[in-house]
Structure 1
Amino acid sequence: MKKINIAIDGPASSGKSTVAKILANDYGFIYTDTGAMYRSVTLMAIKAGVAFTDEDALVQLIHENAISFKQTDQGQLVFINDNNVTEDIRQPEVTNNVSEVSAHEAVRRELVKKQQEIAKASGVVMDGRDIGTAVLPNAEVKIFLVASVVERAERRYKENQSKGIMTDFQTLKEEIEHRDLLDSTRKISPLKKAADAELLDTTGMTIQQVVTSIKEIVEKKLAEIVS
């Protein structure tokens, strides 16, 4: 199929990464998990003892360390330099502080540069919170996924359990609500639906149903481009 860029945005645990990976695999596109990049910077800060409020020091960490992705039989892995941090960046300490780190203008500017460089050749599925509005404003397809807070908390709860991370459901629900507030009210590139994005509520939908719905949107957009 024609190489296009697909931008998928939405709040925490709305299913962005899961469906983006499937779409990238099915279309033979590059998958870029921008959330993993911000999580990696947060993990760097934790390990280096850098305050989440220290914007200059956070940017320095980005300059001094390489964030990369690698496709394997176990799925896509995330690396900081040569260290596999795929599981480390999903720990609660990272999850609960990544919104503060990603709110810094200079941090976002540095990572957006890297994300746009990846997308230059087209044929990219990129997910995050400001892909359609700030990172890839000219993406041919833009999707904005939403789901109820309760369902998103249930998804995160099951995911954590499968990884041996013990957090009670009510705590997860409150953390997701708090992160929604932080992400949607930050001054720099807040979480919001792009004017030309397709809104898709995934509440009650299976992953395959979400993927099928997005593919229908992609095919419609491709037909419009060809015509």
Structure 2
Amino acid sequence: MNISICGTLIGMLKQIAIDGPVASGKTTVGRCVSHALSWRFLDTGLMYRAATWLILEKAVRLDQPKEMSAATAQANMELISHGETDVLLVDGVNIMRELRTLRVEETVSHVSKVSGVRKALINQQRIIARQGPIVMVGRDVGTVVLLNAPVKVYLEAPPDVRAFRRYTERLSDKENSTLEKVKLEIGNRDRIDSGRKESPLYPAKDAIVIDTSSLTINDVVRKILEMTKL
């Protein structure tokens, strides 16, 4: 990215796109950046979980991609402020508590591979982005969703580092797991994300790539905030 141009554009189009693989720190960093700027925050992964919840609620069969895509396209997803957080509504209903349930967790990877579902959600994400300043994180934000975002960041870290982060998160949440199991999960997710036909995971050509291996959350947040001030 031409950083001098980035500094000029940030005043015109207030969008920051942050992409990266699982456990790279993008959600935590993105939320911190949004709070520092008083901008809205959207984790696009939640929208795929929301679509999964909707499909399950409507009892749409998972071997019917057209029906899955239609259900997603017909839903109205909104991002609203709720205290100090942003809440995702589906057809006016706050379903945030439903998005981390086991049935959604076990199904979201299948739903997110459906081309029609992805297209419908990308359209919704762009609509949300047009409604005001936003920090958006995901796996294809800079490469597909917000192509003209003046600040694009790609966070990365080696698989072993990311696996250890996810493992410690689960320990703090008192979940039963092992480091080896998490390493396998991370490796599998990386293969799915980088190998899918629709919106594969890779850094945008104009993104700043940051290796978060030896950086604190505050270090990464400061780097991104500096990009908005140039």
Q: How does 1:33-182 map to 2 (within 5 A)?
A: 33-73=43-83, 75-81=85-91, 83-91=93-101, 93-182=103-192
Aligned partners of 2:154, 2:15: CA distance in 1, in Å?
14
SS in 1 for 2:99: helix
Task: Pick the aligned partner of 1:204 from 187, 197, 214.
Answer: 214
Query: Does the 8 Å contact 1:91/1:165 carry over to 2?
Result: no
Secondary structure, counterpart of 2:96 in structure 1: coil
Distance 2:99 2:209 in 1: 28
Residue type at the aligned position of 1:183: D
Which letter does structure 2 place at the counterpart of 1:86? M
Name the count of aligned residue pairs: 220
Normalised by the length of structure 1, the TM-score is 0.84
What's the counterpart of residue 15 of structure 2? 5
The answer on whether the counterparts of 2:25 and 2:155 sit within 8 Å (CA) in structure 1 is yes
**CA deviation after TM superposition for structure 1 residue 81, in Å:** 4.1
The share of aligned pairs that are identical, in percent, is 35
Match of 2:5 in 1: none
Query: C-alpha deviations, 1:94-151, integer Å up to 9, x for none?
Result: 3454233222211111111111111224521111111111111111010001112222
Is 1:15 paired with 2:25? yes
Unaligned ranges ≥5, structure 2 = 1-9
Q: TM-score, normalised by structure 2?
A: 0.83
Residue 64 of structure 1 deviates from its aligned partner by 4.8
Unaligned runs of at least 5 residues, structure 1: none
| Matched AA of 2:43 | D
Distance 1:53 1:186, change over 3 A: farther
Query: Using the alignment, how far apart are the partners of 2:181 and 2:58 within structure 1?
Result: 27
Distance change in 2, residues 1:67/1:121 (3 Å): closer
Indicate if the aligned counterparts of 2:60 and 2:68 stay in contact, CA closer than 8 A: yes
